[in-house]
Amino acid sequence: MLKKLLVGAGIAAGLGAFVFGREATSYLRTGCRNVQSAVKAELPVEFEIERARTLVDQLVPDIRQCMHVIAEQQVDLEHLTAALTRKESELGKQKDAILALRGDLGSGKSTFTYASHKYTTNDVKRDLATRFDRFKAAEEMLTADRQILTAREQTLVANRDKLDGLMQAKKELEVKLEQLQARMHTVRAAEAVSQLAIDDSNLSHARKLIGDLNKQLDVKQRVLETEAKFVGMIPVEKAEPIAPANLAEQIDAYFSSDKPADAAEVATR
């Protein structure tokens, strides 16, 4: 499989060189950059946040290494300070001895006794010259050690500042990550709400159906109200007049011949 991929890549590179010539490398780089941008654009935000969190977590080894270096420097400074204190004490003793011998030579004596041994003036001068040279060399070394101590103290301060900066930066990045996580949740919630599909047709149908039902109930209620006027009500209207039993006789008598004028008048009416 790997061999096939290598062969395919070689063929593609050869074709690219044949088609584009000297500009094949530029086309290849541009294509790779576009592919990288496209792949990066397709990565989910959650993945990128986790990648950033991983990068922040990778600061922990650097912080621990910085702590270790600072601890070593602190121990070295303690040892160097103690050594300088001892050297300063020894130089103080050498200075006292030199000044003592210098005072003895200034007394004008020809011999001197030290620790039950007698020394001539020349012996004392040679010893004093040797002591003085050693003192100056030791003092120069002490000066150099002091400079080294100062430089290491400055380095220690710089490393402490670096450690404080790393720890502070880690805390700030952690806070920003939490804020970014919260923002992502807010955006995701808003996207979820915006993507909800509401069926307007169902809503319209439901409203229409409820309206029709209300109309039907209104009609039924009106019918019941109308029927209630005729069912179970007391009749208070006047009864129809009943015709008299001798109605025919009354008509004949009314229209008899003895009342022609009245009959004619009735007929005219």
Digit-by-digit pLDDT tens for the chain (269 residues) are: 445 545 555 555 555 555 555 565 655 566 555 545 544 556 688 888 888 888 888 889 989 999 999 999 999 999 999 999 999 999 999 999 999 999 998 888 888 889 889 999 999 999 999 999 999 999 999 999 999 999 999 999 999 999 999 999 999 999 999 998 888 888 888 888 777 655 567 767 777 888 888 888 888 788 777 776 655 555 555 556 677 778 778 888 888 855 555 544 444 44
The two three-digit tokens of residue 163, written as one number: 């450690």
What are the domain boundaries of the chain? 11-42, 45-193
Are 145 and 80 in contact, with CB atoms under 8 Å apart?
yes
The pLDDT of residue 146 is 94
Amino acid at 214: N
Three-class DSSP category at 119 = strand
Torsion angles phi and psi, residue 109, rounded to 5: -75, 155
What is the rounded distance in angstroms from the CA atom of residue 4 to the CA atom of residue 54? 36
CATH number listed for the domain at residues 45-193: 1.10.287.1490
The two three-digit tokens of residue 176, written as one number: 């920003």
What is the rounded distance in angstroms from the CA atom of residue 140 to the CA atom of residue 132? 12
The answer for residues whose C-beta is within 8 angstroms of residue 260's C-beta and 6 or more apart is none
The answer for residues whose C-beta is within 8 angstroms of residue 81's C-beta and 6 or more apart is 149
DSSP line for 161-187: HHHHHHHHHHHHHHHHHHHHHHHHHHH
